[in-house]
Amino acid sequence: MIRSMLYATDLGLYAPLVLQHALSMARTFNANLYVLHVVEPMGQLAQSVLESYLDQATLDALHEQGLNTVMATIENRVFDTLRQDLGSGNPDLALISALRVRQGDPWQVILEQAETLGVDLMVLGSHSHVGGKDVPLGRTAVRVLQLAAVPVYMVPLSQQPGAVKN
């Protein structure tokens, strides 16, 4: 029985297609749908640049306050993107139980959130963009498939973006 689902989005080109699959399944199963977007941590080069120009107290304050502000801004943008993808006032927005933006390695955060939320199914797209080329199965998708404790609904992104056939 599927009572809750986690839709992990990268907000990429195919995100509306994967969202349509997630919403269709949430409607079908009358399931709670959680939306997750993962922000990868700042790279070592960016961290090194900041450390070379800022003292430790300023750096700590920037991390604490700045990260919270950035994450809240990203969360608002994710919700705005969902609203744009669905259209304002779309009743499918009510199917979304919660929207979460977390920082970390995407595959790890997806698996952690699936466990924390106790979801019965995960929904994500299959692709990756590496060096400007589409790769059929991305690193995040591979790791989630290998390590998931619940079923994973993988949307093949060889399809053209568009609505799901019902």
CA dihedral 63, 65, 67, 70 (to 10 degrees): -150
Model pLDDT, residue 163: 43
Local structure of residue 125 (DSSP, 8 states): E
Structural domains of the chain in order of their starting residue, each with its CATH number:
4-155 (3.40.50.620)
Query: Which of the pair, 120 or 86, is modelled with greater confidence?
Result: 120
Q: Which residue has the tokens 């409607």?
A: 27
Local structure of residue 95 (DSSP, 8 states): G
| pLDDT band for position 153 (cuts 50, 70, 90) | very high
Distance CA 96, CA 114 (A): 15
| Each residue's pLDDT tens digit, 29-76 | 999 999 999 988 765 666 666 666 667 777 777 667 766 777 777 788
Distance CA 67, CA 84 (A): 25
State mean pLDDT over 3-11: 94
| Each residue's pLDDT tens digit, 99-149 | 998 989 999 999 999 999 999 999 999 875 555 555 677 889 999 999 999
Model pLDDT, residue 152: 97
Residue 102 near residue 70 (C-beta atoms within 8 A): no
- Output the DSSP codes for 17-75: HHHHHHHHHHHHHT-EEEEEEEEPPPPHHHHHHHHHHS-HHHHHHIIIIIHHHHHHHHH
